[in-house]
Structure 1
Amino acid sequence: MRKFLMVAVLLAATGCQQQGSSGSAGGAGPTPQTDEQKTFYTLGATLGRQIQVFDMSPEEIEFVKAGLTAQLTGKESAVDMQAYGPKLQELARTRSTARAEKEKEKSKKFLEEAAKEEGATRTESGLIYKSLTEGSGESPSPSDVVKVNYRGTLTDGKEFDSSYKRNEPAQFPLNGVIKCWTEGVQKMKVGGKAKLVCPSDLAYGDRGTPGIPGGSALIFEVELLEIQKAEPPPAMPEMPAPGGAAPGQAAPQGQPAKK
C-alpha cells in the first residue's frame, strides 16, 4: 500500500503541473529547469514505473489524477475510500496478468526471428545465445563472481539498463541473477561478447520489475571482463570430544566417547 501512496503523490503533482502549464506540448508537462525541478522530475519518473502494472488508459489516468488531486488539496473524496481501497490489490493482479499475457504473445514472433539469426542457438531452456566476439580466457561457473559490461533492451529497442552509460562495469555472483544470465554467461569466455535473448520465464516472469513489464522478453549484450573464482570454504576444525578430550583420545570417565 505504501507504493500506491507514493504513486499518488506523483500523479497528483503531475496533474497539477499539467493544469498550471499552458506552454507544455501535448500534455507532457513543463520541462524541468532547476536542480530541484529535475530532482522532482526524477522522482516522478521513478514512481511512474511502479504503476505500469495497472496498464491504464488515458481516461483511467484522468480519474486517478482527480482522486489524487482531491486528496492532496483537502477536497472531499468522491468515493468511499474504505470500500474501494481494498480493491486496488485485486485490480493490480488482474491488470498485471492480462498485460503479461499480451507481452508474451507479442514476444513470440520476436523470439522465433531471433533464433533464426545466423550464429544463434536456442538452448533447451529457451535461451537464445549468439556469440558476437569470441573470448580467449576462462568460462565462469555458477558460483563465480563475474565482472561485466552490458546493455539491456526490450523487444521494441527501448533501453532499460546499461553499465556503459553509468561508465561502471557491474559485478555479481553468477548464481544471484536472472536465469538467462546464469546460463548464458557460463557459455562465454573472458574477453568475449555475446547477445542473450531471454524469454520472460528466464527473466522477470509475469510480475516484471520497474521499467520492465511482466511477460517481457529481454535482449542483453554482455561483455565478460573478469572472473573471480569462488574461494572454497575453510575446513572446519575438528571439535574436541565431550569433556575436553582431544579428537581420538578417550573422554574422561562418565563422558561418552566421540564416535
Structure 2
Amino acid sequence: MKYLLTIGLLATGSLSLLAQSKAKPKPKPATAKKTVVTAAPAGAPALKTLADSASYAIGVNIAQSMKKDLGDINTNIMMGAMKATFEGKKPVLDDDVLMNVIMTYSEKAKEAQAQTTVDAGRAFLTKNKTQQGVTTTASGLQYIVLKEGTGEKPGANDTAICHYRGSLLDSTEFDNSYDRGEPLTIPVSGVIKGWTEGLQLMSKGSKYKFFIPYELGYGLRGAPPTIPGGSVLVFEVELMDVKKGN
C-alpha cells in the first residue's frame, strides 16, 4: 500500500538524517570521564540489539507523524491491525476498500485542517457574487470582465497565450507573468479547472478577473508553501493569442 510505504520511507529517511545530525566528532585524547547511564522509563522495552533500537525508533517516528497528521485515529485498532498483518493474518477489509477508506479519511482530515481557509473563502464568494459586474457560472467560478476582446475564443483542445497575476484573498501575490516579462503558453485543458473553464469564456484580446473556488483550484491540498489548502484564488488573466489545436 502506497500510503504506509510512504510513511516507512519517510521514517527511514528521518532516521538517516537523525543519525547524521547526531554524529559525534572523534574524541580527543583526554582524561577518561565517567559514562552516565540514564535509566529507562518503567515499562520501556529492552533494546538489546541495533534492530531493537531501530524498531523502536521507527515506531516513534511513524507515531509522531500520524499523531500530527491523522487526528482522531484509534490507536488500539491501528496497532491491532498492524500486529495481525505482521502475523500474516488476512485483513478484515480487502485492498480496494482499504485504499478507498484511507483516501476518504485523508481528504476529510485535510478539509478539517483547512477549514478556517475554506470557511473564509466561502463567505467571500457568497458576498462577492452579489457585487456589480460579477458573474457566477454553474460550477461556482466567478468572474468580472475588465476588457472584452473581439477575437476568437479558445476551445478545450487549443493553446492559450496569456499574461496573468495570481493572488490569495489577502492580496498575497503568488505568481505574475508580467514580472517575468513573458506570457504563459499553456494548453487550455492542461491547467486547473477554474482556468480551463475561464479561458474558454474569453475572446482573444480580453482581460478577465477570476475568483476560483478551491474545488476548481488546488483543492484541499493547496500548493505549498505559497497556496494553503482550501484557498480561493484570484487571477487577472489577459488572453493575448490563441493557437488552434487539432
Aligned to 1:20: none
Alpha-carbon deviations, 1:84-133, whole Å to 9, x = none? Answer: 22232563355633222221111122112221222111111000011101
Using a 3 Å threshold, how does the CA distance of structure 1 residues 93 and 198 change in structure 2: closer, same or farther? farther
| Distance in 2 between residues matched to 1:4 and 1:156, nearest whole Å | 34
Q: Give me the CA root mean square deviation.
A: 2.8
Structure 1 unaligned segments of length 5 or more: list them. Answer: 9-67, 232-259
| Distance in 2 between residues matched to 1:187 and 1:139, nearest whole Å | 7
Aligned to 1:84: 60
Structure 2 unaligned segments of length 5 or more: list them. Answer: 1-5, 25-52, 72-108
1:131 aligns with one of 145, 150, 171: 145
Using a 3 Å threshold, how does the CA distance of structure 1 residues 84 and 186 change in structure 2: closer, same or farther? same
Relative to the length of structure 2, the TM-score reads 0.61
For 1:25-64, what aligned pairs fall within 5 Å after superposition? Answer: none
| Contact kept in structure 2, 1:99 and 1:215, CA below 8 Å | no
Work out whether 1:146 is the aligned partner of 2:160: yes
Q: Taking every aligned residue pair, what percent have the same amino acid on both sides? A: 41
2:241 aligns with one of 221, 226, 241: 226
| Distance in 2 between residues matched to 1:81 and 1:98, nearest whole Å | 29
Per the TM alignment, residue 71 of structure 1 is displaced from its structure 2 partner at its CA by 5.7
Letter in 2 for 1:216: S
2:130 aligns with one of 107, 111, 116: 116
Using a 3 Å threshold, how does the CA distance of structure 1 residues 71 and 163 change in structure 2: closer, same or farther? same
Relative to the length of structure 1, the TM-score reads 0.58
In the alignment of these two chains, the number of paired residues is 169
Q: Secondary structure at the match of 2:114?
A: helix
Aligned to 1:177: 191
Q: Secondary structure at the match of 1:85?
A: helix
Alpha-carbon deviations, 1:21-42, whole Å to 9, x = none? Answer: xxxxxxxxxxxxxxxxxxxxxx
Using a 3 Å threshold, how does the CA distance of structure 1 residues 197 and 93 change in structure 2: closer, same or farther? farther
| Distance in 2 between residues matched to 1:152 and 1:4, nearest whole Å | 33
